[in-house]
Amino acid sequence: MDLEVDIITTPKGFHCNLCNTNVPNKPSLDEHVKGRKHRTLSTVRATRRAQEERSVFVSGFPKDASQAQLTQYFQQFGPVAEVIIDKDKGVYAIVQFSEVDSQLTALSQLVHDMGGMRLRVKPREKKGFKLVDKKNTGVKNQEEFLERLKPALGQAETVNEQMQCVVERLQLAENKRKARELLVQLIQEVFTEFFPESQVLPFGSSVNTFGIHSCDLDLFLDLENTKTFQARAKTSTEPVAETSSDDGRSEDSILSDIDLSTASPAELLELVATILRKCVPGVHKVQAVTSARLPVVKFHYRALDLHGDISINNRLAVRNTRFLQLCSGLDARLRPLVYTIRYWARQKELAGNVGGPGPLLNNYALTLLVIFFLQNTDPPVLPTVDQLKHMACEEEECVIEGWDCTFPSQPIAVPPSKNQQDLCKCLGSSGLLAAFFSFYATFDFAGNVISLREGRALPVTSFLSQARKVPQEEEEKNAMEEEQPRKPHNQQAPKLGSLNVLDPFELSHNVAGNLSERSQHSFQRECQEAEKYCRSLQYLRKSTKGKPWGLVRLFAPHGQGPKKLDGSVEMSISIPFKPALLPEVLRNQLQLAGDGFRLIWFQKVCAAMVQVFQNVLKCRLGSFTESAPSGDAGHAAVAPGSCESMETSSEELNTSSDSGIAGPGSPQSAAAAAAGSKRRLSSSEDGDASSSPQDKKPRLGSGPKPGTPCWTWTQTHAVWAGRRKVRRELIKDAADTRPEGSNMALEVQVTDHIVEKEPPVKVPLVFKVQAKLVGNTQSTKVLLKVHPPSEGKEHFRDFFHFLEVFLPKMVDTLMEKGV
């Protein structure tokens, strides 16, 4: 019964209202319903409902009425389980009986007189039960913030002023900063009681000059001096419990219970959590997270509504925070640039992982990207870390865990930059903000590792011999097992990923190592969009008609408003490489092809995709074009209007005819099948980051590169609408639960049925699909860029949502069957 209400069908499968979760198909839905989350929430809901049925809502009693008085009064109707009085929101109470009958008896009595007071007794309101979506709440706040920011930005006269306005609106206010300082003092005082001579040091956004009002409070509890203190106490002849520190404080018994030099980080953190929980007033929601790469104790401080983390092994973070402070003091342009770019990245969902580690950029990595860009302007705005080292004096020398962290403590030691560029100049000169987007729009992330130490991009190839890409499972296992503190040593290689930014000091740490390939892609794509926008008049000139201009349009949230300047919304579908699914014969073929396996697999996927569009979904092929592999001079020479590039590349790469790829259904045959003109896409039309000249540099997992084939299809029927129902009718056998896309013959029948029974769509949908091979060996996938039709966009959106799930599934099915 509940299930019928909880589960609704959507264009993408099913949505569970109770858990606020989407699932793509029936088997996943069955799994979900049997899963722990759904079962727990169902139980909680059932309990709440039962309580509601046994309760009454009472008002009209005096403010000083007590629970006991109400219990006594309502006991005449049956045993009372609980009375909850809410005096804050007007005086009312919920009286919960132990039995349903008691509630009915109480409600059936017309007049309730408690000690001369006339009570109003009503059935308890039945509230819908739904999981609160914290993520969307955040998004809503974000939207509200932008709405409040817009008028202020609109009033500014220049983008420069807008950027200053962003800083003023976002930065941590002075009183909040002071309040945080006081909290740190309070925590310090408490910890000193337990850990004599310990130090509580704030780091990160609260103190690095880039903090925003909602940023968390990162603290490092430095126990080094306490360890020395304890060691001293141990060697002293006095019993530990009676020793005193130099300033006369008597050592707390905690130090007689735990040996700091041998205790594991997990043990220490549990202890820190206990002290926080029990001894720091106002602190709650304390939780030790010991399984993370960097174990922390999380807490919330109610009075400031502030979330905080305490770590015990993070000396480097305190030092890199000082580095950020120094950079901020070196050039006044850095803060407005960082605040603007951080806000832009948040709006575009590129940075700021909600609730801990995630696939997006963290704010630290993003700030380092801005600094690196400023090291690479001409002339540089900021010096490299190596240059800073040489500007430091002897007393400023600093080595932490073997890493050289030397830099001057004061900006005065560093000569000012000769770069006079404005943040946003006027027409003709791009300004630093636009230059940032332009810099990363064409940056070759696959071929380079960003080094702030040297202030230049280092070729990724120089790291390959040392680096080993850690498979995901192994990484998770390591994270679970990692009990020991991080022990960086100079020989260790950074974990390379899709975007590589070396920490300025801990050179074996890629601060963007968590980034997924998709996030890297999005970052570069958004930089390209922003770069284009920064060249437009809407960016540079205040609108005289009050229209959004400058940063307002730049900050349009991800997925809302026009993503591209031409107003089109980008649609893409990805089909990952899943070797385990492939038939043995193909697996062997791929193995034999060595580095060329990606090309073979790509062509197979393209062939399968053509089958799905043509044979399963009955789309009509309009044209097929093929652009040459990016950065390949030989292919670039192929004349426009010819489709030879694909064949040429296949022959050249020796992967085509002898591996039997150009068989029926391959892109080549699709090309051959395509009537109509064949035109090579120009690189500007392609508009993809990988077509930049930077791509000529060596790449991870390089090998023969395919071009980017593009098909134009026409769909005349809404083959996506009502598919599930038709499939059910066709299967007839209720026990047959074949998921959508798992059987080609059945899916063909479903489409035929719809085409036969349903009228065609008003305007045939003419759309393009462009395929591109992306990723390195571990993460190879085909990315399909779908260009929507110029007419019938609304209709097409539904079709696209269907394709997003159906196409990868159907392609997998065909690949699995070796079709």
What is the full DSSP assignment across 142-161?
HHHHHHHHHHHHHH-SSHHH
**Interacting stretch for ligand UTP, rule CB under 6 A, among 135-143, 203-211, 281-289, 523-531?**
203-211
Residue 148's contacts (CB-CB under 8 Å, 6 or more residues apart) are none
Q: Which helix (H) or strand (E) holds 480?
A: helix 472-481
Taking CB under 6 A as the binding criterion, the range among 213-221, 457-465, 527-535, 597-605 that sits at the site for ligand UTP is 213-221
For residue 212 the two structure tokens come to 């925003």
The four Cα atoms 106, 111, 112, 114 give a dihedral, to 10 degrees, of -160
Contact region with ligand UTP (CB under 6 A), list: 204-212, 299-307, 424-432, 633-641: 204-212
- Map 632-683 to HEC letters: CHHHHCCCCCCCHHHHHHHHHCCCCHHHCCCCCCCHHHHHHHCCCCCCCCCH
Contacts with ligand UTP in 510-529 (CB under 6 A)? Answer: 511
Residue 414 binds to ligand UTP (criterion: CB under 6 A)? no
Contact range with ligand UTP by CB under 6 A, out of 79-87, 128-136, 214-222, 616-624: 214-222
Q: Which of 192, 230, 363, 813 forms a contact with ligand UTP (CB under 6 A)?
A: 363
Residue least distant from ligand UTP (Cβ): 204
Q: Which is nearer to ligand UTP, 215 or 575 (CB)?
A: 215
Rule CB under 6 A: say whether 208 interacts with ligand UTP. Answer: yes
Q: What percent helix, strand, coil does the chain show, rounded to 5?
A: 45, 15, 40
Closest separation in Å from C-beta 514 to ligand UTP: 8
E-assigned strand segments in 746-814: 765-774, 781-787
Closer of 85 and 360 to ligand UTP (Cβ): 360
- Selected binder of ligand UTP within 197, 218, 747, 804 (CB under 6 A): 218
- Is 321 a binding residue for ligand UTP by CB under 6 A? The answer is yes
Does residue 233 touch ligand UTP according to CB under 6 A?
no
The verdict on 631 binding ligand UTP (CB under 6 A) reads: no
Among 61, 203, 301, 713, binds ligand UTP (CB under 6 A): 203
* Residue 24 in the binding site for ligand UTP (CB under 6 A): no
What minimum distance in Å lies between the beta carbon of 364 and ligand UTP?
A: 4
Residue 184 interacts with ligand UTP (CB under 6 A)? Answer: no
Helix or strand holding residue 729 (H, E):
helix 723-731
Q: What angle do CA 589, 595, 601 make, to 5 degrees?
A: 50
In 16-155, which residue ranges form alpha helices assigned H by DSSP?
26-34, 36-53, 67-74, 100-108, 134-155
Question: What is the Cα–Cα distance from 432 to 442, expressed in whole angstroms?
Answer: 16
Separation between Cα atoms, residue 34 and residue 44, nearest integer Å: 15
Alpha helices in 54-99 (DSSP H): 67-74
CA torsion angle 278 281 287 293 (round to 10): -110
Nearer Cβ to ligand UTP (315/587): 315
Taking CA atoms, 139 is separated from 135, 338, 349, 351, 529, in Å, by 6, 21, 10, 13, 22
Please give the full DSSP string across 302-330, using - where no structure is assigned: GGGTEEEEEESS-HHHHHHHHHHHHHHHH
- 């590129």: which residue's tokens? 350
Does 245 interact with ligand UTP (rule: CB under 6 A)?
no
Residue ranges in 126-250 assigned as alpha helix (H): 134-155, 159-170, 174-194, 224-235
Among residues 171 and 648, whose Cβ is nearest to ligand UTP? Answer: 171
Give min distance, CB of 345 to ligand UTP, in A: 11
Q: Least separation, in Å, of the C-beta of 117 and ligand UTP?
A: 53
C-alpha–C-alpha distance, residues 293 and 13, integer Å: 36
- How many residues bind ligand UTP (CB under 6 A)? The answer is 16
Q: Is 205 in the site for ligand UTP (CB under 6 A)?
A: yes
> What is the C-alpha radius of gyration for the chain, rounded to an integer number of angstroms?
32
The CB-of-332 to ligand UTP minimum distance in angstroms stands at 19
Choose the binding region for ligand UTP from 48-56, 109-117, 211-219, 661-669 (rule: CB under 6 A): 211-219
Alpha-carbon gap, residue 559 to 350, rounded angstroms: 12
The residues, any chain, with a CB within 8 Å of residue 236's CB and separated by 6 or more, are 243
Nearest approach in angstroms of CB 210 to ligand UTP is 6
Map the footprint of ligand UTP across residues 159-178, applying CB under 6 A.
none
Q: Which is nearer to ligand UTP, 467 or 774 (CB)?
A: 467
Q: Which one of residues 95, 306, 317, 718 is an interface residue with ligand UTP (CB under 6 A)?
A: 317
Question: Could you say whether residue 320 binds ligand UTP (CB under 6 A)?
Answer: yes
Rounded to a whole number of angstroms, the minimum distance from the CB of residue 256 to ligand UTP is 33
Query: Which window, 259-267, 358-366, 376-384, 403-411, contacts ligand UTP (CB under 6 A)?
Result: 358-366
| Residues 269-288 interacting with ligand UTP (rule: CB under 6 A) | none
Q: Which of the residues 588 through 627 are near ligand UTP (CB under 6 A)?
A: none
- Of these, 53, 82, 216, 396, which contacts ligand UTP (CB under 6 A)? 216
Minimum CB separation of residue 444 from ligand UTP in Å reads 22
Whole-angstrom distance between the N-terminal and C-terminal Cα of the chain? 42
| Using rule CB under 6 A, residue 204 touches ligand UTP | yes
Q: Is 767 in the site for ligand UTP (CB under 6 A)?
A: no
Instruction: Please report whether residue 407 would count as binding ligand UTP according to CB under 6 A.
Output: no
Q: Report yes or no: 721 and 796 within 8 Å, Cβ to Cβ.
A: no
3-class SS of residue 296: strand
Residues making contact with ligand UTP (CB under 6 A): 203-205, 208, 210, 215-216, 218, 316-317, 320-321, 362-364, 511
